[in-house]
Structure 1
Amino acid sequence: MPEFKIAEDPPAHDGHDASLPPRNAIPPFAALRAFDAVARLGGVRKAAEMLSLDHAVVSRHLRAIEAWTGTTLIERTRTGVLLTEDGLRYHKRIAVAIDTIASATIDLMKRSDNNRLHTWAMPGFAFHWLMGRLSVFEASNPGLDIELRPTDMCPDFARHEADVDIRFANAYGPPLSLPPGVRSVEIARMPTVPLASPDYVARSPDIERPEDLLGHALLHEESYDGWSAWLSDHGVTNQEALSGPRLWHGHLTLDAARRGRGIALGNHLIAADDIAAGRLVEVGAGLFEHIPLGAYLFVARADRWNAPQIARFRHWLLAAVAAEVPTALATKCLVTAGHR
Structure 2
Amino acid sequence: MRKRLPSTMALQAFEAAARHESFTHAAQELSLTQGAVCRQIASLEAFVGVPLFNRVRRGVRLTDAGERYGRLVRRQLDAIERDTLAIMAHQGGGVVDLAVVPTFATRWLLPRLAHPDTRCPGLQVNMATRTRPFLFDETEFDAAIYSGDPGWPGTQAHFLMQENPVPVCSPSLAAGPLDAADIAALPLLQQSTRPTAWRDWFASTGVPAPGDMAGTRLELFSMLSQAASDGLGVALIPPFLVQRELDEGRLHVLNPHSGPGQRAFHLIVPERKAAVPALIQFRDWLIGQARSASGT
Aligned position for 1:72: 49
Deviation at 1:128, TM superposition (A): 2.8
Two-structure CA RMSD over aligned residues (Å): 5.3
- Are 1:44 and 2:18 an aligned pair? yes
Hey, what's the Cα distance between the residues in 2 that align with 1:26 and 1:147? 31
* Cα 1:81/1:181, change in 2 over 3 Å: farther
Alpha-carbon deviation of 1:320? 1.2
Residue 311 (structure 1) aligned to one of 270, 280, 287: 280
Q: Distance in 1 between matches of 2:33 and 2:89?
A: 32
1:298 to 248, 267, 276: 267
- Within 5 Å, which residues of 2 pair with 1:261-340? 262-271=233-242, 281-285=252-256, 289-292=259-262, 294-300=263-269, 303-325=272-294
Distance 1:221 1:100 in 2: 33
What is the CA distance between 1:60 and its match in structure 2? 2.5
What SS does the aligned partner of 2:111 have?
Answer: helix
* Structure 2 portions without partners, runs of 5+: 56-60
Correspondent of 2:42 among 63, 73, 80: 63
| Pairing of 1:120-199 with structure 2 (within 5 A) | 120-136=99-115, 141-142=120-121, 144-147=123-126, 160=140, 163-169=142-148, 184-196=157-169
Task: Check whether the contact 2:170–2:251 (CA below 8 A) recurs between aligned residues.
Answer: yes
Q: Answer yes or no: is 1:207 the counterpart of 2:179.
A: yes
CA distance in 2, matches of 1:140, 1:253: 28
Higher relative contact order (CA 8 A, sep 6+): 2
Q: Are residues 1:112 and 2:83 paired?
A: no
Deviations 1:163-213 (A, max 9, x none): 5543333x6xxxx997x8876534223333222356755378x4244xx43
Q: Distance in 2 between matches of 1:218 and 1:55?
A: 65
> Is the 1:116–1:309 contact (alpha carbons within 8 Å) kept by the matching residues of 2?
yes
8 Å Cα contact 1:181/1:301 also seen in 2: yes
Corresponding pairs, count: 279
CA apart distance, 1:230: 3.1
**SS of residue in 2 equivalent to 1:185:** strand
Q: Which runs of 5+ in 1 are unaligned?
A: 1-15, 328-340
1:211-251 per-residue CA deviation (whole Å, 9 max, x = no partner) reads: x4331122334578254553575477765422433454312
* TM-score scaled by length of structure 2: 0.63
Q: Which of structures 1 and 2 has the bigger CA Rg? A: 1
Q: CA deviation at 1:265?
A: 0.7
